[in-house]
Every structure is written in C-alpha cells, then in structure tokens.
Chains A and B, each alone.
Chain A
C-alpha cells in the first residue's frame, strides 16, 4: 500500500480524527529513536512462534507474534477469542500445546515453576480489575514487589513507592494508606500500573486496561501507557477491545478472530483496510 493510499484512507476516516483520538501516523512510527515494528534495531523481546493451545476445544491456532523493544502491541478481538490467554502464555502461567515462546531470547516453554517466577520478574502486569491485594493498603500493594525481590530498606521503598504513585498522577500522601476498596476504578487501575512498574520491568502487559472506565479516565490511562513507552522505553502488550484507546496507544495492532491472527499491522494500516470483518469490528471508528 502506498503512502498516498494510506493518507487517502486516513482522510476517509475523518470521524476518528475529529473525535480527538491521537491517531499515530505511519510517519510518526518511522521517527528516529522509536523502536517501531519496522525499525532496524527491533530485536523481539517477546516472541510467539506457531503457538497452538486447546482447552476443551481449540482456542489458539498457529499464533506467531513478535514484540520489538519499546513497542506497544495491542491485541484486539471479540470476547472469548483468547486475547488474555496470550498474556498468560507470555507470563508462563499457561504452556502452549505446540509452538515456542521466547522472552528476551530465552525459551520459556520448559521452565520449572521456580524458573518461571524469575522470568516473570522481568515483566509487570496490569490486570483488568487491577487485582490489588484487598487486605493491603495502596502503599503495601506498590511496595510488594520491592519487598519480595529487592534488598531496599524501608526508606528507599517508601521513596520508590512515592515516585511510582506520582508517576501515575496519584497523590501519595492521599492514597498511600487507603485500602483498594476505598478507591475509584480509575485510581485502582493507576495503582495497578504503579505496582506493575515498581520494579522498573522492561516488559509491561495490560489486560483490558480501560474496560469499565469513563471516557476521561480512559484517556488518562491511555496517556499513561504512551508515557511509559516514551519515557521508560517499556515494551508493552495490551489486550483490549476498546479500539478508540487501541488506536491511540498502539505501535501495531493484532486482531484475533477464529483462533488466528486475522490482521497484524499499524493503526494506519488497520484504519485503511477494506476487509469487511475488520471494518465491522472497528464500527464507527
């Protein structure tokens, strides 16, 4: 597809731009310094090769994906297509029936439970419902990975927790001693992100980070995901069916349908496609 054609298609998608979505252009992706899909230093930090997985029925067939350093890959698709399952495979909470999964070049299929725990320390995960520990305060939640895996003293841990909470636009003095039940949905998500980045992981995985949030909070979370990519160079995999948010954060988008990857490309390429299913999936966007 030529650049002119892309521009023409993008012009057809005027409503998308008119609604203020920060749609990334193909040109922006090609900026120097950004490790996009096509950049020459794009060594995959996450790689799935010909992955098959079945439970009672086949769920994933021949899935191959690679996430480059600093890239944000959004995995979209209808409910029940196995999007979140891919995150569990990357975290080695599940093992594929066939195929190979590599994190930073290391094959994780055959790791023992203890070895898998170590690999997971390279990753941060933001859960759909934030999955904060109910019995712990916000401070204890964010401090948890630091207490578990570092030798930092209490003062250093507190300083790091404050930093992370400020990074996600929360006032540490206000929220640190609150319990998760006392927070709003958006605040819980942000605390979840603060906990996910507490150990400064190179990889961040998000499971439906904007589901159940109002449009303003959705925008805040999307900006935060972009900020993490831009400032920290974090490689991210975001599972979402919120395509408005997906277009604003993704370097590339993979669309899962009928157990396979039906589409893999940049947001521009997705917006430009004439594929009936994809146009239907995007709806008014």
Chain B
C-alpha cells in the first residue's frame, strides 16, 4: 500500500517524464526536417488532410465570428455614435486574436484528434512496431510530416479565416447597421495601416496574426502525435488519447496565446 506522499511523488515523476518526452519528441521532429530520407509525399498528403480538409469548418467559423463581432460592436458603439469604426474593431479583433485562436481551436478539434486517433490505432495494432522493424523511424515517417504540414497550413487557414471574418463583418455592417461597404473597407485598411509596417510592406498586425498560428500548428501536431504514440489499452486507449489531445492542445493554444500576445505587444506595440 502506498503512502499518499509516495503517490504524489510518483504522479509528479510521471508528469515530469511526460513533459520531457513531449519536448524530446518535438526536438526530434524538428531535427528530422533536415534529415534523410525526407517523406515529401507524406508532407503533401498531410497538408491536404490538415489544411484543405479543414477549410470548410475554419471558413464557416471565421465568417460567423466576424458577423457576431460586428453585431455586438454595433450595439455598443451606437451608444457613442461611433459605428463608422466598426471595420477597424472587427479587423483588429480578427487579425490579432480571433482568427488565429479560432482557426487553432478548430484545427485542434478536427485535426489534432484525427492525428491522435490515427497514430494511436497504429500503435495498438502494432503498425508502429512494424515501422520500427522495417527500419523506419516512426518520428521521421509520421511526426515530422505532420509537423511541417501544420506549420504551413495553420497560417494559411488563419489568413483565410481573417478574410472571411472581416467579410462577415461587412455583411452585418451593410445589411444591419447601414454602413456603406466603401466606408467599412476604408476603415479596415486604416486599421491595417495604423499599426505601421515592418520592412515597409508587411503590416505589423499581420506579423502578430501569423506568428501565433505558426506556434499553434506546432502545438497541435506535436500534441496529437505525442498522445497517439503514447496510446496503450486497445481501442479504449485510442479514445482516451483523442480526448487528451483535444483538451491539451486547446488549453495550450489559449495559454500560449496570452503569453505570445504579451511578448508581441512588447516587441511590436
């Protein structure tokens, strides 16, 4: 029978080992991006699975988020007679925060769980062992392509979510609030230009908005692969890994978002 402190000690050890394994996996996945053989076909396949197949859900959530933002802001801003600045608020919110975070959460739910389920099933049906015995490093074959695909596709999805979100704001601004589209889009541009430009052409808000999904992509891919590879206990274990992936990736996205915002606001106010 274990003493309570002994149990606590064991649990703490497991947690530390888990974090260590997570970072070792991440490091190896990054290291293998420049190692041979390079599984280019798998990267393309994963870009399709992570990016193209997530397009619908990301565009849909982006569009409705833009609309609901415009709706809420219009009510508040009407009290100060400032509804003309609706485009600025919707743009700032979408590009800086909601575009990256919503795209990240959507992809974590759809893709992160899929990665964990696929790799977890491979683990419990000995396909991972089969890769090992066939002389293939499973991290090189399974994790690195998913990491690279997520690093490329998350920023792309975020840009598209931002665009349709701002467009959704335009729909509400025109149809519900009565702001002409020309005025709305002018204020959108004013917001983009207000933060200044990096290297003369790249709006500062874009840097903020695109750095985040890059990090979120890595978090989703590594978390899904980590829990997938750690799967044990048959099909029930696959279910557990899937749930853990979605919860962990979502929490990581929201917490790192806060810290990244703090840092980015300090560097690029």
How does the 8 Å CB contact mask read for A126-150 relative to B, with 1 for contact and 0 for none?
0111011110000000001100110
For residue A282, give the distance in angstroms from its CB to the closest CB of chain B: 29
* A127–B137 CA distance with the chains assembled, in angstroms: 18
> By DSSP majority rule, is chain A's interface helix, strand, loop, or mixed?
mixed
**Which residues does chain B contribute within 8 Å of A125, judged by CB atoms?**
129-130, 133
**What does the 1/0 interface line of B3-40 toward A look like (CB < 8 Å)?**
00000000000000000000000000000000001000
Say yes or no for A275: interface residue by CB 8 A criterion: no
Q: Is the CB of B129 within 8 A of A127?
A: yes
CB pair A129 B135 closer than 8 Å: no
The residue in chain A whose Cβ has the minimal distance to the Cβ of B130 is: A131
Any A CB within 8 A of the CB of B76: no
Chain B residues within 8 Å of A8, by CB: none
Instruction: Please report the C-alpha to C-alpha distance between residue A149 and residue B137 in the assembled complex, in whole angstroms.
Output: 13
B132 within 8 A of A: yes
Q: Which residues of B contact A53 (CB under 8 A)?
A: none
Residues of B within 8 A of A129 (CB): 125-126
Q: Which A residues are CB-close (under 8 A) to B174?
A: none
Q: Are B126 and A131 in contact (CB under 8 A)?
A: yes
Task: Name the contact of B129 in the complex, choosing from A117, A118, A131, A149 (C-beta under 8 A).
Answer: A131
Selected contact of A120 from candidates B121, B125, B132, CB within 8 Å:
B132
Q: Which residues of B contact A237 (CB under 8 A)?
A: none
Instruction: Name which of B125, B127, B132, B133 has the most chain A CB atoms within 10 A of its CB.
Output: B133
- Complexed CA–CA distance, A120 and B131 (Å): 10
Residues of A within 8 A of B126 (CB): 127-129, 131
Give the contacting residue for A117; candidates B121, B122, B125, B137; CB below 8 A. B137
Residues of A within 8 A of B125 (CB): 129, 131, 134
The verdict on A123 contacting B133 (CB below 8 Å), with A129-B125, A131-B125, A133-B127 known, is yes
* A117 and B130 contact, Cβ closer than 8 Å, known pairs A129-B125, A134-B121: no
Which of chain A's residues has its CB closest to B35's CB? A114
Contacts of B136 on A, CB cut-off 8 Å?
117, 148
For A25, the chain B residues whose CB sits under 8 A away are none
Smallest CB separation, A250 vs chain B (Å): 22
| A276 interface residue (CB < 8 Å to B) | no
A17 beta carbon closer than 8 Å to chain B: no
Q: Report how many residues on chain B are interfacial, defined by Cβ distance under 8 Å.
A: 14
In the complex, are the beta carbons of B135 and A133 less than 8 A apart? Answer: no
Closest to B37 in A: A148
CB-CB under 8 A from B137, the residues of chain A are 113-114, 117
Q: Is the CB of A134 within 8 A of B130?
A: no
Known: A129-B126, A133-B127, A148-B37. A93 touches B132 (CB 8 A): yes
Instruction: Report the bound CA distance from A249 to B221 in whole Å.
Output: 45
A165, B134: Cα distance in complex, Å? 18
The interface residues of chain B lying within 8 Å CB-to-CB of A113 are 137
CB-nearest residue of chain A to B137: A117
Q: Is A121 an interface residue (CB 8 A)?
A: yes
A91 located at the interface, meaning its Cβ lies under 8 Å from any Cβ of chain B in the complex: yes
Q: Among residues 114 to 131 in chain B, which have CB atoms less than 8 Å away from a CB atom of chain A?
A: 121-122, 125-127, 129-130
Contacts of B127 in A (CB 8 A): 131-134
Which of B37, B129, B132, B134 is A144 in contact with, Cβ under 8 Å? Answer: B134
**Inter-chain contact A120/B134, CB cutoff 8 Å:** yes
- Measured CB to CB, the closest approach of chain B to A224, in angstroms, equals 19
Which residues of chain B come closer than 8 Å to A133, judged between CB atoms?
A: 122, 127, 130
Binding site for A on B (CB under 8 A): 37, 121-122, 125-127, 129-130, 132-137
Sample of 8 more A-B contacts, CB < 8 Å, known A88-B129, A131-B125, A145-B134: A93-B132, A113-B137, A125-B133, A131-B129, A132-B127, A144-B134, A145-B135, A148-B136
* 21 A-B contacts (beta carbon < 8 Å): A91-B132, A91-B133, A93-B133, A113-B137, A117-B136, A117-B137, A120-B132, A120-B133, A121-B135, A123-B133, A125-B129, A127-B126, A127-B129, A128-B126, A131-B129, A133-B127, A133-B130, A134-B121, A134-B125, A134-B127, A149-B135
Which 8 pairs from chain A and chain B are nearest by CB?
Answer: A131-B130, A131-B126, A125-B133, A121-B135, A117-B135, A127-B126, A145-B134, A120-B135
